[in-house]
């Protein structure tokens, strides 16, 4: 009998446990008991093994030919070509002419080695990753408030004892369905509160007395939170003892929110005064209160300030760092947490160290066996990095790992134009994604069940990803690719292709950092004992953070007063609406994987723009009929889905699709000045009906 392998799902950061058993028909997936998913999986998890044997799998290196087609090549030929072009580009245009774009789905080992490869083998500061589009605002807010960024500073299972859970801007019922089992206690207590412009599957969990759905105008979350803070202060609901003992900055906060009285907040958000007051009072009833934020409130040009306001509300209520309450942010990508800890971000070194910190540079350089001065400085965040493609003095060669930027990045037409202006593009992937289709070289890499590695879940738990099947003969791990390219480039440092050896080095490099993994090893993780970072050598890890002190030098949390920059919604005149983007149950990220699974694609074969029936009727758009959405950046054509679950001034479009249905043809690449997060959740668009015959014209 073929042995079963215990591993974890390749998709979201809940990292549901599963068992894989190879058989003659492929690989059988079964749910496995684990605190986060309790044996359950979503549609994506149950069908994940189909990707391993997909007929669309790339099985050997592919080189673009003069006529634009691709032809197979040997690994020697492909790597010699890549190394030669990278070396020539650096010699002619400098090290920073070579850019690296990573992904939040890479294992910790690959994310670590990618950052090392960029800075040592390439000598380039130009590295960032798609987590900049996901967690960056929450991370920036957490770092400045707490001195540390871990999505959930407590265990997911702790939520089961909650009486009140406020979820801002996250549709967990569709993005990570097994998570909703942890909401049952709050629902039974009538305390599940969901803030979302749409009546999502998560919002419907509040029906029948289970809680409350609050439906603000898109982009008004910061005003909503400032108003709640004002109510908490004015009604004397502040935990004054906690604030005095554990925080600084309250007086500035109190002065800053006075202008957001309830009637004014109602005017700007559309949320009734009674609902605002009821919500604030419910949150103050603790213990047993948790506040959770998601991308809906963070993917804005003021996303860091909005996440900060949610943290401020949590702090003045005394929720953070206590046994039975808390604040957290829901990481989206599979390794969104670990991926940002160990060197993929343009401003960080392993262990969540700042690349501008001399002590951090000295420590990591010592592990790598180089002089600190040889490390490049801070680079460009993702949107700026992509905007530099083909520009004078900008990126001339780009390496992409685990990302599909022409679908996932904002202002997608600009990104496509930037790629066309490159001298050389290399993409590592297992399918011909829309980005891989534009590459000069495509290198086929191993998938999740074909490799060893570690991931870090949304609760900061480091887990083992185990190999269940052999990879096809022609594909390679990125660790092997980094080693082979580094050898060809005569790079300093050692590049192991053994994941366990890379992890051991990662642990040494992280020692003493904020995200300290130095007490971890494959041997320890193979026991499946819980391993929450920080996990310094000699410790047993940290399931719940901040119980005694925050990570700032004085042990106190920072309450940072913030203000709304703009509170006026765009005029809803004619067909002008506010676009928000998001996920569907059946698909994941840019759809590169899930659009290749027959069951998932059959269930959701196309993008549909959701708008209110009254709005659709006013614009002459039939349910299922064709419509066009346009902004200053581009145009999308797709079918309509009329639904009373959305505000009449809003239109929703999923971001999993490509071509004419690509939502990011519309979105703006303006970014948050602190986090570099793009404005995905508030785009002014013009909507009009299309005749069936002209739908794809």
For residue 3, what pLDDT is reported? 85
Q: Which CATH architecture has domain 5-53?
A: Single Sheet (2.20)
Token pair of 162, please? 């909650």
For residue 449, what pLDDT is reported? 96
Confidence of residue 1 (pLDDT cuts 50, 70, 90): very low
Average confidence score pLDDT of the chain? 95
Phi, psi values for residue 584, rounded to 5°: -115, 160
For residue 697, what pLDDT is reported? 46
Percent with pLDDT over 70 in the chain: 98
Confidence of residue 331 (pLDDT cuts 50, 70, 90): confident
What does the pLDDT average to over 85-114? 96
Q: Which CATH architecture has domain 576-694?
A: Beta Barrel (2.40)
- Inter-residue contact 656 to 116 (CB < 8 Å): no
Confidence of residue 327 (pLDDT cuts 50, 70, 90): very high
Residues of the chain with CATH 2.40.40.20: 576-694
Answer yes or no: is pLDDT of 451 > 70.
yes
- Inter-residue contact 587 to 408 (CB < 8 Å): no
- Inter-residue contact 109 to 480 (CB < 8 Å): no
For residue 492, what pLDDT is reported? 94
Confidence of residue 567 (pLDDT cuts 50, 70, 90): low
Token pair of 103, please? 């992904």
Measure the CA–CA gap between 473 and 495, rounded to whole angstroms.
22
What does each C-alpha distance from 471 to 6, 17, 48, 450, 498 come to in angstroms? Answer: 17, 21, 15, 5, 15
Residues of the chain with CATH 3.40.228.10: 136-329
Q: What is the pLDDT of residues 620-654, one digit of tens each?
A: 999 999 999 999 999 999 999 999 999 999 999 99
Residues of the chain with CATH 3.40.50.740: 62-134+335-525
Answer yes or no: is pLDDT of 82 > 60.
yes
Pairing status of strand 211-214 against strand 557-558? unpaired
Q: What is the pLDDT of residues 668-692, one digit of tens each?
A: 999 999 999 999 999 999 999 998 6
The residue behind tokens 């990481």 is 331
For residue 158, what pLDDT is reported? 96
For residue 513, what pLDDT is reported? 96
The stretches of 396-498 forming alpha helices (DSSP H) are 405-408, 412-420, 478-488
Answer yes or no: is pLDDT of 334 > 90.
no
Q: What is the pLDDT of residues 604-613, one digit of tens each?
A: 999 999 999 9
Confidence of residue 98 (pLDDT cuts 50, 70, 90): very high
Measure the CA–CA gap between 352 and 333, rounded to whole angstroms.
18
Q: What is the pLDDT of residues 503-541, one digit of tens each?
A: 999 999 999 999 999 999 999 999 878 999 999 999 999
Confidence of residue 572 (pLDDT cuts 50, 70, 90): low
Q: CATH number of the domain at 136-329, please?
A: 3.40.228.10
DSSP 673: T
Percent with pLDDT over 90 in the chain: 93
Phi, psi values for residue 399, rounded to 5°: -110, 125
Phi, psi values for residue 336, rounded to 5°: -60, -35
Pairing status of strand 326-329 against strand 608-611? unpaired
For residue 693, what pLDDT is reported? 45
Q: What is the pLDDT of residues 170-209, one digit of tens each?
A: 999 999 999 999 999 999 999 999 999 999 999 999 999 9
Confidence of residue 464 (pLDDT cuts 50, 70, 90): very high
- Inter-residue contact 459 to 532 (CB < 8 Å): yes
Q: Which CATH architecture has domain 62-134+335-525?
A: 3-Layer(aba) Sandwich (3.40)
For residue 2, what pLDDT is reported? 65
Residues of the chain with CATH 2.20.25.90: 5-53
Specify the 3-state DSSP secondary structure of 661.
Answer: helix
Token pair of 437, please? 């289709």
Helix orientation angle between 499-510 and 358-368, rounded to the nearest 10 degrees: 150
What does each C-alpha distance from 411 to 126, 371, 437 come to in angstroms? Answer: 20, 39, 19
For residue 568, what pLDDT is reported? 55
Q: What is the pLDDT of residues 10-55, one digit of tens each?
A: 999 999 999 999 988 889 999 999 999 999 999 999 999 999 999 9
Sign, Cα dihedral of 565, 568, 569, 572: negative
Residues 6+ apart with CB under 8 A from 90: 97, 98, 122, 123
């Amino acid at each position: 009998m073929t042995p079963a392998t215990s591993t974890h799902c390749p998709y979201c950061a809940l990292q549901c446990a599963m068992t894989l058993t190879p058989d003659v028909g492929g690989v059988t997936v079964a749910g496995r008991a684990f605190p986060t998913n309790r044996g359950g999986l979503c549609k994506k998890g149950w069908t994940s093994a189909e990707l391993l044997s997909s007929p669309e799998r790339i099985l050997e290196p592919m080189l673009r030919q003069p006529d634009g087609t691709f032809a197979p090549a040997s690994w020697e030929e492909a790597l010699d070509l890549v190394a030669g072009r990278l070396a020539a580009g650096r010699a002619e245009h400098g090290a920073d002419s070579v850019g690296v774009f990573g992904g939040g789905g890479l294992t910790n080992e690959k994310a670590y080695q990618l950052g090392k490869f960029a800075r040592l083998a390439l000598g380039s500061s130009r590295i960032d990753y798609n987590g900049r589009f996901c967690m960056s605002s929450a991370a920036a807010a957490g770092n400045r408030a707490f001195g540390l960024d871990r999505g959930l500073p407590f265990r997911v299972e702790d939520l089961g004892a909650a009486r009140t859970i406020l979820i801002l801007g996250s549709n967990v019922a569709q993005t990570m369905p097994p998570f909703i089992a942890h909401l049952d206690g709050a629902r039974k207590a009538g305390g599940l509160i969901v803030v979302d412009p749409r009546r999502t599957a998560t919002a419907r969990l509040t029906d029948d007395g289970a809680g409350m759905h609050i439906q603000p105008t898109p982009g008004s979350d910061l005003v909503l939170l400032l108003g709640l803070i004002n109510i908490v202060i004015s009604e004397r609901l502040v935990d004054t003892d906690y604030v005095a003992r554990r925080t600084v900055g309250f007086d500035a906060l109190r002065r800053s929110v006075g202008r957001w009285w309830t009637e004014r907040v109602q005017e700007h958000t559309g949320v009734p005064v009674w609902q605002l007051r009821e919500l604030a009072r419910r949150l103050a009833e603790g213990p047993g209160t948790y506040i959770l934020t998601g991308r809906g409130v963070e993917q804005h040009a003021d996303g860091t300030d909005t996440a900060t306001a949610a943290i401020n509300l949590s702090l003045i209520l005394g929720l953070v760092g206590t046994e039975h309450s808390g604040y957290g942010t829901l990481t989206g990508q599979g390794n969104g947490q670990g991926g940002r800890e160990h060197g993929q971000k343009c401003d960080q070194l392993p262990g969540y160290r700042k690349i501008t910190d001399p002590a951090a540079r000295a420590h990591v350089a010592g592990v790598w066996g180089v002089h600190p001065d040889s490390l490049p400085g801070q680079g460009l965040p993702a949107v700026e990095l992509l905007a530099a493609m083909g520009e004078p003095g900008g990126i001339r060669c780009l390496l992409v790992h685990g990302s599909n930027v022409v679908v996932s990045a904002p202002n997608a037409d600009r990104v496509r134009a930037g790629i066309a202006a490159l001298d050389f593009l290399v993409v590592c992937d297992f399918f011909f994604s829309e980005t891989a289709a534009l590459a000069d070289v495509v290198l086929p890499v191993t998938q999740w069940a074909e490799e060893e590695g570690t991931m870090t879940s949304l609760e900061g738990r480091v887990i083992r990803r185990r190999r269940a099947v052999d990879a096809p003969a022609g594909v390679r791990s990125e660790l092997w690719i980094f080693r082979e390219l580094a050898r060809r480039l005569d790079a300093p440092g050692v590049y192991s292709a053994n994941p366990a050896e890379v992890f051991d080095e990662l642990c040494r490099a992280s020692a003493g950092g904020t995200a300290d993994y130095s007490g971890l090893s494959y041997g320890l993780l193979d026991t499946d004992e819980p391993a929450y970072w920080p996990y310094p050598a000699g410790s047993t890890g940290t399931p719940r953070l901040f119980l005694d002190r925050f990570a700032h030098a004085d042990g106190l949390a920072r309450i940072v007063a913030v203000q709304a920059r703009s509170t006026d919604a765009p005029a809803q005149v004619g067909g002008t609406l506010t676009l928000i983007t998001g996920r569907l149950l059946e698909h994941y990220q840019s759809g590169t994987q899930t659009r290749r699974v027959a069951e998932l694609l059959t269930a959701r074969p196309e993008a549909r723009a959701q708008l209110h029936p009254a709005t659709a009727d006013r614009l002459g758009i039939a349910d299922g009929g064709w419509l066009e959405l346009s902004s200053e950046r581009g145009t999308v054509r797709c079918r309509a889905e009329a639904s009373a679950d959305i505000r009449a001034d809003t239109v929703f479009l999923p971001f999993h699709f490509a071509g004419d249905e690509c939502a990011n043809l519309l979105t703006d690449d303006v970014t948050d000045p602190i986090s570099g997060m793009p404005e995905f959740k508030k785009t002014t668009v013009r909507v009009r009906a299309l005749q069936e015959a002209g739908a794809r014209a």
